[in-house]
Amino acid sequence: MDQTFLLMLSNLLHLQNSLDPTTSLLSDTSSSSSAASAATASSASASSPSSLLTSSSSAAPLLFFTIASVLSYIASSSKPSSSKSAATKSSSKSSAAAAVDYSVSAFRALSTEHIWSLEAPLRDAQWRSLYGLSYPVFTTVVDKLKPHIALSNLSLPSDYAVAMVLSRLSHGLSAKTLASRYSLEPYLVSKITNMVTRLLATKLYSEFIKIPVGRRRLLETTQAFEELTSLPNMCGAIDGSPINLHKFPNDVKMPANYKCRYGFNSVLLQVVADQKKIFWDVCVKAPGGTDDAAHFRDSILYNRLVSGDVVWDKVINVRGNPVRPYIVGDWCYPLIPFLMTPFSADGGGTPAQNLFDGMLMKGRSVVVDAIRLLKGRWRILQNLNVGLNHAPQTIVACCVLHNLCQIAKEPEPEVWKEPEERGSVPRLSEGEKSFYYFGESLRQALADDLHHRLSSR
C-alpha cells in the first residue's frame, strides 16, 4: 500500500482516539456490532443535527472507519492507472527530448526566425552539425538550385528538399533512416536525393570545378606550388580514390572488376586539386578494380591535354627545355610532359632525382589531403548507400559541395584516413612513347635545376 495513504490512516486513528479514548478503530469488534453502530449512527443522523453532536463519541469511530475504507478503495483502484499514466508521461517526455522535429514548419522556424536570433558563429556551427556547411553557404546552394528544382513540380519547398539531401550526404544516412525522420516514403527520399545530386553534378559543376587556364588564377596556383615545393610551373596534383559501395541485402553479386585493390567493392574517383585543396577536375568513370593509369587515359582531361585543347599560356625555360604548366602524380600514373611522376618509389635515384621526388610528393600531398577532407566532410562517401546508377553523380555532387566549402573557407572537419597507396608503374601505351621521352627529358631538367638551385643556397 502507498506510504502516503498509510500515514493518512494513522492520522485518522489518532484523531479518532482523541475524540473517543475508550474505543479504538482497530478493536476486535464483531461485524454485527459494527452493523448496529452503523444503524444507530444512521438513525441519529436522520433525527437532528443536535443529536449527532451529542452522540459524537459513539459515531466517530464508524465515521472514520468509513472514510478510511473509501480512501483505501480509491487508492487501491487508482494506483495502477496513475502509475501507468505516470510511466507513459515519463516515456513521452524522454521520447520528446530525444526526438528532433524535422517537419517543414520546424525547418521554416529554424531557418527564418530562430536562425537570426543567434550569433553568427553559433548559428553556423548549428547549421554545419545538421547539414555539413554554414548557413550562408547553404543559402547559396539553395539559391542556385531553386530555379531548377521548381521545374520538377516537387511538392516540398526547395530549401527543405536541399536540407534533407545535405543531411544525408553529410551524415551518410540511408534513404530508409531519412524517410523515418522526415515522415516520407523511402522511395521519395531516394527520388529527391537523385534529383538534387544530379543538379549539383550538372548545373553547378562548370561554375565551381574549373581548370586554371585564366592567367591570374594560373599564376596564383603555380606560385603557390613553387613556394611549397620549389618546383616551377606546377599547377595541380592528381590522385585516384576508391569510393566504397554499400552492400544492400538484395543486391546481386557485383562484377569482379568492382573490387578494388583494398578488397572492397567500389567505384573509382579521380581528382586534380590545387594548393587550396580545391578540385579543378573530377572524373568518375570506372569500377574500383580499374588502375589509376587506365582511368586517367579514359578521362576527358587526358584527351584534352593530349590533343592540346587545354591551352596554358605560361611557358618557362628550364635548361633549354620549354616547360608548360604540369600536374604531378605518384608512380601509378604515366610520365608525360603534362604529368610529372617520381623517378623511383624507393629512393633509388641520384641525389638530384631523390630531391626532385621528395618535392614532387610534397606537392602531391595536397590532393591526398583534399580527398581525406572530402570524405570527412561528406560521410556518405565512406559507405555509398545509393544505387549504382546514381553513384557517379552523388560523388561529383559531393566534390562540388567540397569546393563551395573550400572557397567559402569553411572550417575543416576531422578528415577520413585513406588506405596506404599501393600500385605498380603502368605500362606505356603505343601512342604515349613519344610523350614519355619528352616527359623524361623535362623531368631530368627540372631535377637538375632544382638540385643546383637548392645546393647553391
* Burial annotation 302-322 (CB, 10 A radius, 16+ → b, else e): beebbeeebebeeeeebeebe
CB neighbours of residue 132 within 10 Å: 25
Q: Classify residue 169 as left (phi > 0), alpha (psi -120 to 50) or beta.
A: alpha
**Domain encompassing residue 138:** 104-202
Per-residue pLDDT, averaged over 79-84, amounts to 43
Q: Is the pLDDT of residue 163 over 60?
A: yes
| Domain finish residue from 177, 202, 227 | 202
The reply to whether 20 falls in a domain is yes
Which pLDDT does position 67 carry in this prediction? 56
Lowest mean per-residue pLDDT among 105-109, 182-186, 395-399: 105-109
Count of domains for the chain:
3
Which pLDDT does position 414 carry in this prediction? 82
Per-residue pLDDT, averaged over 82-104, amounts to 47
| Domain finish residue from 173, 202, 231 | 202
User: Do 362 and 235 sit in the same domain of this protein?
Assistant: yes
pLDDT band at residue 88 under the 50/70/90 scheme: very low
Lowest mean per-residue pLDDT among 74-88, 120-134, 257-271, 321-335: 74-88
pLDDT band at residue 425 under the 50/70/90 scheme: confident
The reply to whether 97 falls in a domain is no
Q: Is the pLDDT of residue 191 over 80?
A: yes
User: Do 194 and 311 sit in the same domain of this protein?
Assistant: no
- DSSP bridge pairs for 241: 269
Q: Are 334 and 428 in contact (CB under 8 A)?
A: yes
| Domain finish residue from 202, 237, 258 | 202
The reply to whether 98 falls in a domain is no
Q: Is the pLDDT of residue 221 over 90?
A: yes
- Nine-digit cell string for 427: 605500362
The reply to whether 356 falls in a domain is yes
Quick one: 239 exposed, middle or buried, by C-beta within 10 A (0-12, 13-18, 19+)?
buried
Bigger pLDDT: 265 or 55? 265
- Arithmetic mean of pLDDT over the chain: 80
Q: Is the pLDDT of residue 194 over 80?
A: yes
Residue 433 one-letter amino acid: K
User: Do 371 and 292 sit in the same domain of this protein?
Assistant: yes
Q: Is the pLDDT of residue 28 over 50?
A: no
- Nine-digit cell string for 279: 578540385
User: Do 274 and 198 sit in the same domain of this protein?
Assistant: no
